[in-house]
Structure 1
């Protein structure tokens, strides 16, 4: 993931990614409806502490029912984070 000098970030050259790159840019309005897309992220560390340090929030920890973290980005968009295999 690359970040520029502004609030935008991008994913470039991800294995299996159907596009050359994907740019994430902030918008002025808050999230008001359910996500149109749902991201699943495979972590490079055994826990999502790097994501939390970057502003994500953990909504649900792994437990007896699920083996991943349910998280939100700073804009409230939900995604799941999986431990590396």
Structure 2
């Protein structure tokens, strides 16, 4: 597979994942329940590398709820 094709497929995969998170986070602060849980910690930890080293701000603009959730959690003492 050509490098550009692989990159496009990877970007689409990231879009799908962030999109899946974005919908419920429109009305929820946490993935499960009313406080930070292992689910939040696991997903935020998994996304940390993407947000800090790979994703461009323009790419993230489509996922405002996920971005807010991510930044909220990064500012929690658990992180």
Q: TM-score, normalised by structure 2?
A: 0.30
Larger relative contact order, structure 1 or 2 (CA cutoff 8 Å, min sep 6) = 2
Structure (1/2) with the larger strand percentage: 1
Structure (1/2) with the larger helix percentage: 2
Q: TM-score, normalised by structure 1?
A: 0.29
